[in-house]
Amino acid sequence: MLLAWIPYIFLLCFVWGNFGEYVSELNAGEEVTVTEISGCAEGGAPMSGVIPYCSGEWRFDDGHTGRGSIKGDKAEEGDKIFAGDGFVYRSRPSLIWSMSVTGFFGLALLGMAIGLGVLYRKDAVRRRQKN
């Protein structure tokens, strides 16, 4: 019975870790302006999983620059993006949306675990009463 919970616990820890990463990115990031776009790639069909992106560069308020892939809609010079050291999002709301979906999924997994635990306890009590 305990071995059946191992993949579930792994999934719950994975979701919790991703949620924590989103929270830290939300705290560490800032809205910056794109200074250069070196090229964009179109995405594939919606179900292909290929997300369109543009390669670009941006400048932070303290003067240092960042470079990377800006996922989402086509970006142009002068656009505002949400970035930090090691991450970039098309906008702050897109990060909040990702964080919300991950948090909801984590709460659903936690609710399932609690529900399964309650059902297991009820079943154990019922089996003891039959004996």
Domain-located, residue 12: no
Domain-located, residue 1: no
Give the domain extent around 57.
17-130
Local confidence band at 2 (pLDDT 50, 70, 90 cut-offs): low
Domain-located, residue 72: yes
Indicate if the pLDDT at residue 50 is higher than 80. no
Nearest Cα residue to 12 out of 107, 121, 98, 114? 107
Count of domains for the chain: 1
* Separation between Cα atoms, residue 71 and residue 40, nearest integer Å: 10
Least confident of 43-52, 56-65, 119-128: 43-52
Domain-located, residue 92: yes
* Separation between Cα atoms, residue 98 and residue 57, nearest integer Å: 23
* Separation between Cα atoms, residue 119 and residue 99, nearest integer Å: 30
> What type of residue is 128?
R
Check: pTM over 0.85? Answer yes or no.
no
Domain-located, residue 61: yes
